[in-house]
């Protein structure tokens, strides 16, 4: 009975603890405006409360923690990917529309014709507002204090001037110390201090202010920007940017992440700039996955056949064959990368050659296949050995009695049977290699590629490494397009996997 009490108490403590942490997170998420995340957390809290404090469903008590993690970090991101693929979402189109309008307004300024600047001290005025004490001892010989609201001209006689003629103290102005300056540094650069209309002063560094005027004005009625100097209008182009009506190349930065629905998917098929590299990469992905499975299976089968008889040293051979599979694959790939080095690598050294493995597209592809063969043949050796033993020996004996040669027995009986047994594993291996990111990324980085032409797709890039490169690999991070390609890969891999699952009948074990 005592034990039961402790168990119950532990349960309540754990539940309370989880709810406390999640509530805290939900509240900070809400405070930061991350409403979706806050909502998800709130739902989790309710689910935990109901599941563990009532008797509504016993199975749910076993599933809930895993389910919540699954929803947050597996299913959620998949749906999020789907959502992101419908947006213009890339470097330069990363923020919301409102934020982008604010940024454009802030950046849409230009200096006056002479590029006038003042030496300034930053501080506070009498009323406690941020203020500048500006000096121009040489050209215009003016001194003034400027806040966001007021411009107060000063007589040089009232001021304390330093040896350069710059004002260092003035009545009604208190300069910041260096420490105070550092604390407010971020806010200061966005403040517009008063100057002769339509100009204003903006800080450039901690002791210089430039005279600027607003160039771009937002017209909220028409959702357009107008250039105040030329009168030119910029409109929403439907892809997350304001673009000049007269000149389509005149785009205002930054843009925002704008919903563009299926445009990315349409581009995948219709825009040659997107389609051509993608088709190239797709073809190589298929060839790569196919050749990998073929070579791994062939070598694994050969070894399994050779070991299919108790020959001398079989145990030692066997443990050596497993080693490549037991090694952490990341380490193996990096080691192979060094071995393929053109100048100093062991492969060129061994064969006394000077092949530029990673600079020549075809050699790079060969290297990828060779390394993957090394990594994967033990797997097929292991599964094929098992399958070979499961083939009843009566079959080959019967064939031998009928006068079949060893070769005939293998091609007509053993291999077809093996293929039938192993086809789900071959399909699974194909699906796995279809997305074998680590190998490509760590061995060749997808290269060689022609960087000078701005080419993103390299000769050994497979879809997944190409997608990663689009999302994170270049100066422009195109998360929207990358998500669209991810969705396509999802569909391909799901089809292959479902086919494999059907074949393996694995679902039937889950009645």
Partner 1 sequence: MTKWIRENLWRHAVAITVVLFSLFPLYLVVISSINPTGSLQITSFIPREISSKNFRMLFNDPTIPYLTWMRNTLIIAGLVAVISVIIGASAAFAFSRLRFKGKRFGLQTLLLVQMFPAILAISALYVIMERVYNFAPYMGLGTQTGLILVYLGGAMGVNIWLLKGFVDSIPMELDEAAKVDGASPMQTYWLIFVPLAAPVLAVVALLSFIGTFNEFILARLFLVDMESRTIAVGLQGFIGGQYSQNWGPFAAGSIIASIPIVIIFLSLQRYIISGLTAGSVKG
Which positions from 320 through 349 interact with partner 1, judged by CB under 8 A?
A: 320-332, 334-339, 341, 343-346, 349
Q: Exactly one of 62, 261, 290, 411 binds partner 1 (CB under 8 A); which one?
A: 62
Shortest spacing between CB 226 and partner 1, in angstroms: 33
For residue 419, how far is the Cα from the chain centroid? Answer: 38
Q: Of the listed pieces 120-128, 172-180, 272-280, 379-387, which binds partner 1 according to CB under 8 A?
A: 379-387
Among 18, 215, 291, 317, interactor with partner 1 by CB under 8 A: 317
- Whether a cis peptide bond, with omega within 30° of 0, leads into 448 is yes
Binding piece for partner 1, criterion CB under 8 A, among 160-168, 196-204, 311-319, 361-369: 311-319
In the region spanning residues 161 to 190, those forming contacts with partner 1, defined by CB under 8 A, are: none
Residue 42 in contact with partner 1, rule: CB under 8 A? no
User: CA-CA distance, 452 to 386, in Å (whole number)?
Assistant: 51
Output the six-digit token pair for 488: 């396509």
Do 137 and 164 meet the contact criterion of CB atoms below 8 Å apart? Answer: yes
Stated as kind and residue range, the H or E segment containing 276 is helix 272-306
Show the binding pattern over residues 185-224: x = contacts partner 1 (CB under 8 A), - = does not.
----------------------------------------
When binding is defined by CB under 8 A, the residue of 121, 458, 464, 473 that contacts partner 1 is: 464
Q: Does 407 bind partner 1 (CB under 8 A)?
A: no
* Of residues 218 and 468, the one with the C-beta less far from partner 1: 468
Q: Give the nearer residue to partner 1 in terms of CB position, either 108 or 345.
A: 345
Rounded Cα distance between 396 and 509, Å, is 31
Stretch that binds partner 1, among 109-117, 247-255, 260-268, 318-326 (CB under 8 A): 318-326
Q: How far apart are CA 84 and CA 263, in angstroms?
A: 12
SS3 208: strand
Q: From residue 207, how far is each of 121, 145, 160, 181, 190 by CA, in Å?
A: 6, 14, 17, 11, 15
Q: Distance of CA 73 to CAs 3, 21, 68, 77, Å?
A: 36, 18, 8, 6
Residue 70 parent element (H or E): helix 58-70
Is the four-CA dihedral 51, 55, 56, 61 of positive or negative sign? positive
Instruction: Using CB under 8 A, count the residues that bind partner 1.
Output: 106
Q: Judged by CB under 8 A, which stretch of 60-68, 150-158, 175-183, 196-204 contacts partner 1?
A: 60-68
When the beta carbons of 61 and 412 are compared against partner 1, the nearer one is 61
| Closest separation in Å from C-beta 2 to partner 1 | 14
**What does the per-residue mask of binding to partner 1 show for 347-376, with x meaning CB under 8 A?**
--xx-----------------------x--
Tell me if 76 contacts partner 1 by CB under 8 A. Answer: yes
Q: Does 386 bind partner 1 (CB under 8 A)?
A: yes
CB of 473 to partner 1, least distance (A): 12
Interacting residues with partner 1 between 466 and 495 (CB under 8 A) = 468, 471-472, 479, 482-483, 486, 489-490, 493-494
By beta-carbon proximity to partner 1, the closer residue of 151 and 347 is 347
Could you tell me the CA-to-CA distances from 16 to 12, 22, 52, 53, 71 in Å, in that order? 6, 10, 10, 10, 21
Who contacts 503 (Cβ-Cβ below 8 Å, separation ≥6)?
Answer: 423, 424, 427
Mark the segment that binds partner 1 (CB under 8 A) among 55-63, 117-125, 204-212, 275-283. 55-63
Indicate whether 53 belongs to the interface with partner 1 (CB under 8 A).
Answer: no
Q: Based on CB atoms, which residue is closest to partner 1, 84 or 159? A: 84
Q: Measure Cα distances from 311 to 307, 315, 316, 369 in Å.
A: 7, 9, 11, 30
Is 78 a binding residue for partner 1 by CB under 8 A? The answer is yes
Q: Within the chain, how many helices (H) and strands (E) appear?
A: 18, 17
User: What's the token pair of residue 402?
Assistant: 């009928």
Candidates 309, 393, 401, 407: give the one binding partner 1 (CB under 8 A).
309
Check: CB of residue 273 under 8 Å from CB of residue 264.
no
Nearer Cβ to partner 1 (260/307): 307
Stretch binding partner 1 (CB under 8 A), from 64-72, 130-138, 167-175, 184-192? 64-72
Among 106, 237, 424, 455, binds partner 1 (CB under 8 A): 424
Tokens of 132: 């500048």
Q: Is 303 in the site for partner 1 (CB under 8 A)?
A: yes
Instruction: Figure out which of the listed residues 77, 198, 259, 416 binds partner 1, where binding follows CB under 8 A.
Output: 77
Would you state the torsion angle of the CA atoms of residues 47, 52, 57, 59, taken in this order, to the nearest 10 degrees? 100
Residue with smaller CB distance to partner 1, 80 or 162: 80
Q: Is 31 in the site for partner 1 (CB under 8 A)?
A: yes
Residue 249: strand, helix, or coil: coil
H-helix or E-strand spanning residue 235:
strand 233-236
Contact between 380 and 299 under an 8 Å Cβ cutoff? The reply is yes
**Cβ-based burial of 246 (10 A; exposed 0-12, middle 13-18, buried ≥19):** exposed
Footprint of partner 1 on residues 94-123 (CB under 8 A)?
Answer: none
Residue 70 or 398 with smaller CB distance to partner 1: 70
């Amino acid at each position: 009975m005592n034990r039961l009490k402790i168990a119950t108490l532990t349960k309540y403590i754990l539940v309370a603890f989880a709810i406390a942490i999640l509530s805290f997170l939900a509240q900070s998420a809400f405070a930061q405006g991350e409403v979706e995340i806050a909502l998800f957390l709130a739902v989790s809290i309710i689910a935990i409360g109901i599941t563990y404090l009532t008797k509504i469903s016993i199975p749910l008590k076993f599933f809930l923690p895993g389910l919540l993690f699954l929803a947050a970090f597996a299913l959620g991101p998949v749906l999020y990917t789907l959502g992101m693929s419908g947006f213009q979402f890339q470097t330069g189109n990363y923020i919301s529309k409102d934020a982008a309008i604010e940024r454009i307004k802030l950046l849409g300024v230009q200096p006056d014709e002479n590029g006038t600047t003042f030496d300034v001290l930053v501080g506070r005025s009498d009323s406690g507002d941020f203020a500048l004490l500006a000096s121009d001892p040489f050209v215009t010989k003016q001194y003034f204090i400027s806040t966001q609201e007021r411009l107060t001209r000063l007589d040089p006689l009232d001021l304390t001037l330093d040896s350069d003629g710059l004002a260092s103290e003035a009545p009604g102005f208190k300069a910041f110390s260096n420490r105070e300056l550092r604390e407010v540094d971020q806010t200061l650069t966005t403040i517009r201090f008063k100057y002769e209309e339509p100009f204003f002063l903006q800080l450039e560094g901690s002791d210089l202010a430039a005279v600027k005027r607003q160039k771009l004005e937002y017209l909220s009625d028409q959702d357009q920007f107008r250039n105040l100097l030329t009168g030119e209008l910029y409109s929403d182009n439907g892809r997350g940017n304001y673009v000049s009506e007269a000149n389509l190349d005149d785009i205002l930065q930054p843009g925002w992440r704008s919903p563009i629905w299926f445009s990315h998917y349409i581009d995948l098929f219709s825009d040659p700039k997107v389609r051509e590299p993608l088709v190239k990469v797709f073809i190589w992905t298929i060839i790569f996955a196919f050749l990998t499975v073929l070579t791994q299976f062939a070598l694994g089968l050969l070894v399994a056949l050779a070991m299919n008889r108790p020959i001398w040293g079989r145990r030692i051979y066997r443990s050596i064959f497993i080693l490549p599979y037991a090694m952490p694959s990341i380490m193996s790939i990096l080691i192979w990368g060094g071995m393929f080095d053109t100048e100093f690598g062991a492969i060129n050294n061994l064969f006394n050659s000077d092949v530029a493995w990673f600079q020549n597209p075809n050699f790079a592809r060969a290297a990828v296949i060779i390394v993957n063969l090394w990594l994967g043949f033990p797997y097929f050796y292991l599964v094929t050995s098992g399958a070979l033993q499961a083939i009843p020996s009566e079959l080959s004996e019967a064939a031998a009695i009928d006068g079949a040669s060893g070769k005939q027995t293998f091609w007509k009986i053993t291999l077809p049977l093996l293929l039938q047994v192993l086809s789900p594993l071959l399909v699974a291996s194909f699906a796995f290699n279809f997305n074998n990111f680590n190998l490509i990324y760590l061995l060749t980085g997808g290269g060689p590629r022609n960087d000078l032409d701005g080419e993103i797709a390299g000769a050994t890039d497979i879809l997944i490494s190409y997608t990663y490169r689009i999302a994170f690999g270049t100066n422009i991070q195109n998360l929207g397009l990358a998500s669209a390609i991810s969705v396509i890969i999802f569909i391909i891999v799901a089809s292959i996997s479902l086919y494999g699952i059907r074949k393996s009948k694995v679902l039937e074990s889950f009645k």
